Amino acid sequence: MSLVETCPAGSLRPAGPPGRPPVVPWLTGTLAVLVLGLYALGPAVGVPLLTEREAILAGELWRLLTGHLVHTDLGHLIPDLGVWLVFGALYETAPGRGRVGRLAVTVLVGALAVGLWLVACEPAIERYAGLSGLLNTVAAVGLIDLWRATGRPLFLVALISTGVKIAAELAIGGAVIDTAAWPAVPGAHLAGFAAGLALAAAWWKTTPRPAGAA
């Protein structure tokens, strides 16, 4: 008996029943280790990775993605990393095919959406760091996924609450409760959230439904 089987797309995945999630959320863990490692290495390592407007416009495009991995202080790192571990692991370990791939796409699309928003729409923000804009993408995709998978209205309410929170942040021009040294950027949260809603809409038909749902 072969330990691996070929999936339709031609890639390899662990043997087992179709749709069974991986036991270990390795993508979530890898990203968390990366974020922790960058923080532990100190601010000097993070400086060339920040989402820095002028540098991006000068061609340092990697900063669109890498700035999300850099955090300024523990008050910034701990909440962001905690939320990532919860939503990342929940999504990655959920039943269904291609969860790792979808999470990776979610992260990439969210990171790009936030980065491009900052460059295009936030000229006063010269540099940006942190996962939270991207976490709004993951949260939107994850909450819609949970709502669709379980049918529980709690997750729809949580999704709407996230939108309301972002609207409140936009209204007051900052975070409702701020724990980081750098001020929050509500526009980045909005861009991330909108990207998440767009992804969820694109994946609507392929999102699992609760048993018995029409």
Partner 1 sequence: MRMRTMTMIAAGALALGAWAGPVAAAGLLTPVGGGVPPLELKDHLVEVVVEDGYAVTIVEQRFHNPHPRDLEALYAFPVPEAAAVSEFTYWIDGRPVTGEVLPKQQARTVYEEEKAAGRATALTEQDGHRDFEIRVTPVRAGDEVRIRLGYIQPARLDTGVGRYVYPLAEGNVDEAANAFWHMNDQVTGRFRFALTLRLAAPVSAVRLPAHPDAEIRRRGDGWFTVTLGDPPTPNDDRPRDHADAALVPAALPAATRSPAPISGSPRRLDTDIVVYWRLAEGQPGQVELVTHKPDAEGEGTFMLVVTPGDDLAPIDRGTDWTFVLDRSGSMRDGKIAHLRDGVRQALARLGARDRVRLIAFNNAAQDLSGGLVPATPAVVRQLDALVGQIGADGGTNLYDGLRLAQEGTDADRTSAILLVTDGVANVGETEQRAFLDLVRQRDIRLFTFIMGNGANRPLLAALTEATNGHAVGVSTADDIVGVLLGALGKVGHQAFHDVALALDGIETFDVVPDPIGSIYRGEQLVVFGRYRGAGMADLTVRGRVSGRPVEYRTRFAVPATATRNPELERLWAFARVEAAMTEIHTFGETPDRRAAVEALAVAHGLVTPYTSMLVVEEDVFAERGLARTTAERVADEQAARAARAAGPVVAHRVDQAAPAFASAQPSYGGGAGAGGGNVGLLGLLASAALGWAGMRARRS
Which residues in this chain contact partner 1 in the complex, by CB under 8 A? Answer: 42-44, 46-47, 50, 54, 68, 70-73, 75-76, 78-80, 82-83, 86-87, 89-90, 94-95, 114, 118, 122-135, 139, 143, 146, 149-150, 152, 154-155, 158, 161, 172-185, 188-189
Shortest distance, position 84 Cβ to partner 1, whole Å: 9
Shortest distance, position 197 Cβ to partner 1, whole Å: 17
Residue 182 or 203 with smaller CB distance to partner 1: 182
- The span from the CA of 152 to the CA of 51, in Å, is 37
Residue 5 or 54 with smaller CB distance to partner 1: 54
Residue 3 sits at φ, ψ, to 5 deg, of -80, -15
Rounded alpha-carbon distances, angstroms, from residue 45 to 66, 123, 155, 183, 191? 11, 24, 38, 21, 27
In sequence order, what are the residues at sequence separation of 6 or more whose Cβ sits closer than 8 angstroms to the Cβ of residue 114? 51, 68, 133, 134, 137, 188, 191, 192, 195
Shortest distance, position 160 Cβ to partner 1, whole Å: 13
Residue 37 or 183 with smaller CB distance to partner 1: 183
Shortest distance, position 53 Cβ to partner 1, whole Å: 9
Rounded alpha-carbon distances, angstroms, from residue 135 to 8, 10, 41, 73, 106? 31, 31, 23, 18, 10
Residue 12 or 152 with smaller CB distance to partner 1: 152
DSSP single-letter state for residue 182:
S
Shortest distance, position 1 Cβ to partner 1, whole Å: 30
